[in-house]
């Protein structure tokens, strides 16, 4: 049976959430949508809000999953995170937050968590 791209994405987002939860993070929200962007997972790591992008590659023949995050995608993530912060009454100046990446390879057999993978610069 063919799986849709969305269903596959949800499967790997769930695997990333489970992995991050096992590392002590707690879920705030899944699949936050704003005009022009989506954040896969929003989690809390102590006092830090963590915006998580989940990327999957079945094989590394065409590169690492982390390499699929383009400058355009980064800009969308940053804008969407700013919308989420404002919507929740939080300021970018007084709220600790970061952008992490979870790269999943080999049908979920390998999960790599990259903290501070995306910078605003």
State whether CATH 3.40.1350.10 applies to domain 5-118: yes
Kindly report the CA angle at 69 between 64 and 74, in degrees rounded to 5?
155
Alpha helices in 1-121 (DSSP H): 5-22, 71-87
Mean pLDDT on 70-85? 93
Instruction: Average the pLDDT over 22-27 and give the result.
Output: 97
Query: Which residue did the predictor score with more confidence, 59 or 24?
Result: 24
Tokens 């919308």 — which residue? 83
Residue 7 has pLDDT above 70, yes or no: yes
- The whole-model pTM stands at 0.88
Average pLDDT over residues 68-93: 92
Q: How confident is the model at residue 5 (pLDDT cuts 50, 70, 90)?
A: confident
Domain definitions of the chain by residue range: 5-118
Per-chain mean pLDDT for the chain: 87
Q: How many residues does the chain have?
A: 121
């Amino acid at each position: 049976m063919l799986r849709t791209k969305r269903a596959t994405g949800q499967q790997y987002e769930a695997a990333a959430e489970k992995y991050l939860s096992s590392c002590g993070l707690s879920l705030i929200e899944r699949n936050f949508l704003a005009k022009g962007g989506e954040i896969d997972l929003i989690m809390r790591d102590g006092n830090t809000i963590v915006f998580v992008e989940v990327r999957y590659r079945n094989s590394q023949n065409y590169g690492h999953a982390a390499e699929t995050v383009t400058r355009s995608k980064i800009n969308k993530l940053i804008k969407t995170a700013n919308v989420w912060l404002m919507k929740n009454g939080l300021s970018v100046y007084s709220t600790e937050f970061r952008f992490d990446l979870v790269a999943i390879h080999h049908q979920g057999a390998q999960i790599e968590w990259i903290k501070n993978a995306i910078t605003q610069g």
